[in-house]
Amino acid sequence: MATDTVEARRLQRETHHEADVVVVGAGIFGCAIAYALAQQGRSVLLLERWMSEPDRIVGELLQPGGIQALKRLGLGHCVDGIDSITCRGYNVIYQGRPVLIPYPTMDERGGVPHQWSGAGKEGKRETGKGFHHGRFVTRLREACLGHPNITVRETEAVRAVRGEHSDHVLGVETRTTDPATRKKTPDYFFGQLTIVADGYDSKFRKEVTADKPVARSKFFALELRDARLPAPGYGHVIIGDAYPILLYQIGTHETRVLFDVPHNIPEAAPAAGGVKNYLANHAIPALPESVRPSALAALEAEKLRSMPNSWLPPTRQVPRGMVVLGDATNMRHPLTGAGMTVAFNDAALLADLLHPDRTPSLADDGAVQAALRTLYWRRKNYTAILNVLAQALYALFAASDPQLHALRMGCFEYFRRGITDGPCGMLGGIIHRPVVLAYHFFSVAFLGIWMHFLETVTSGPGPLGILKAPLAVIDAVLILAKACVVFLPLIWREGFR
């Protein structure tokens, strides 16, 4: 595009607050989509309420599938120069017993040769990155600030602006705070299309759906100094002796620990000493011994911070000038660290669908609606896997009933037998084939049932245990029924609706 056109469009944005696209929220999704559309030559206004570096406990582990999408968006450099730490997979510790599940080996075409069973020994492996969320978001914002087709403004969007004679959205009304007086003044920004990515506590969600996020637990966070992880370079998931705990390095000296605390558990009730009591007496003792001293020190020194762990299945939208995306309309439990991977893949896919060659005018509602319809179904190739895995693994790992316990045992044994490339390729956002998830889901269920059967019939004195076989068969039916009741509605909602 000629320099004078770029300059004219910049003036149009700065003087008249008009662009092809208005993006609300310069977080993970907002920066990614703003940058991708600007790269295609669109003129973009990016609005963010707080431009200072975010200080949050979310979005600190980016899966390999997220790194791949980030590179496709032209933003791969944003994980450099922020003291990010390479992550090679997971170390799952179940009742003190560890099993390492590295990200899978890949073939030359980017496929996972052992996705159905086993694990490759040799070959290239993709890796993830751990980092401080704020540093990463600052890098994304710098990329947007430096783009000639983007103008970034610090202002808070408060409502959509509609035409007088139609419900077509023309842009947003905002409040801009004067830094000297702190006085807020109204402002307006207009675009052919408004893309809202205002995060988990979205103000704009109600414009497109009546659904509300469901949260049954919170993550409480501490930042550990120089923690000694049993398997450096791996994210750690600790299960079995407490509610699930995550540990991953986010800087040379810093490790994030996230403790899942379900709502209303007696161990964390105010009368029992609150969440601090649960952490000190139940969760920290479940950590690997080498990590406990730094966790106790952080518990003493730091203020506990928390975030709700929400599930919000995706929404079908028929945009008339505005679409709401990112966490605002789709969330999953953060146990598997999948949110940013979903967001970057969504941004890359949406940008492809809105490319000027395909969708010449963003003012064409029919064309934008067709793009959104395609996005809704095509993104299921990865979201059905990442969202279902997050919810299903949380249900298993936080389980308190005997059937889910049996399935959890099956899951751990599955990994212990070395069937890790498929599961970790899905967790890493590298495998985009929901049928692989269905295959591993039923394999784990049947392994759990078989192990429970063996445990039951071998638990009696001598050969008499075999008399318990009918009981074991009833248990098998109950376990399978439980698996279906808990997981099939989830698979149906995320995969087919």
Ligand X SMILES: Cc1cc2nc3c(=O)[nH]c(=O)nc-3n(C[C@H](O)[C@H](O)[C@H](O)COP(=O)(O)OP(=O)(O)OC[C@H]3O[C@@H](n4cnc5c(N)ncnc54)[C@H](O)[C@@H]3O)c2cc1C
Binding-site ranges for ligand X (CB under 6 A): 24-30, 47-50, 57-62, 156-157, 197-199, 203, 219, 307, 326-328, 334, 337-341, 343
C-alpha closest to that of 246 among 333, 311, 135, 328:
333
- Give 154 or 241: the residue with its C-beta nearer to ligand X: 154
The nearest distance, CB 171 to ligand X, in angstroms, is 13
The nearest distance, CB 221 to ligand X, in angstroms, is 7
Radius of gyration of the chain (CA): 24
The nearest distance, CB 312 to ligand X, in angstroms, is 11
Cα 324 off chain centre by: 17
User: Burial level of 177, CB count in 10 A (0-12/13-18/19+)?
Assistant: middle
Strand 169-177 relative to strand 156-162: parallel, antiparallel, unpaired? Answer: antiparallel
- Give 49 or 71: the residue with its C-beta nearer to ligand X: 49
- Give every strand in the sheet of 61-62, ordered side by side: 61-62, 128-130, 85-87
The nearest distance, CB 402 to ligand X, in angstroms, is 29
- Give 208 or 483: the residue with its C-beta nearer to ligand X: 208
Strand 150-154 relative to strand 44-48: parallel, antiparallel, unpaired? Answer: parallel
Q: What is the DSSP letter of 110?
A: S
Using CA atoms, how far apart are residues 455 and 397, in angstroms rounded to an integer?
20
The nearest distance, CB 27 to ligand X, in angstroms, is 2
Per DSSP, the three-state class of 95 is coil
The nearest distance, CB 429 to ligand X, in angstroms, is 9
- Give 62 or 445: the residue with its C-beta nearer to ligand X: 62
The nearest distance, CB 386 to ligand X, in angstroms, is 9
- Give 32 or 371: the residue with its C-beta nearer to ligand X: 32
- Give 26 or 483: the residue with its C-beta nearer to ligand X: 26
The nearest distance, CB 424 to ligand X, in angstroms, is 15
- Give 154 or 352: the residue with its C-beta nearer to ligand X: 154
The nearest distance, CB 58 to ligand X, in angstroms, is 3
- Give 24 or 479: the residue with its C-beta nearer to ligand X: 24
Structure token pair of residue 145? 């600030």
The nearest distance, CB 307 to ligand X, in angstroms, is 4
- Give 126 or 156: the residue with its C-beta nearer to ligand X: 156
The nearest distance, CB 191 to ligand X, in angstroms, is 14
Strand 18-24 relative to strand 44-48: parallel, antiparallel, unpaired? Answer: parallel
Half-sphere exposure of 138 (CA within 13 A, CB side): 13
- Give 121 or 303: the residue with its C-beta nearer to ligand X: 303
- Give 128 or 410: the residue with its C-beta nearer to ligand X: 128
Structure token pair of residue 134? 């704020």
Using CA atoms, how far apart are residues 419 and 148, in angstroms rounded to an integer?
48
380-397 vs 365-378: helix crossing angle, rounded to 10: 40
On whether the CB atoms of residues 37 and 74 are closer than 8 A, the answer is no
Fill in the amino acid letter for 290.
Answer: S
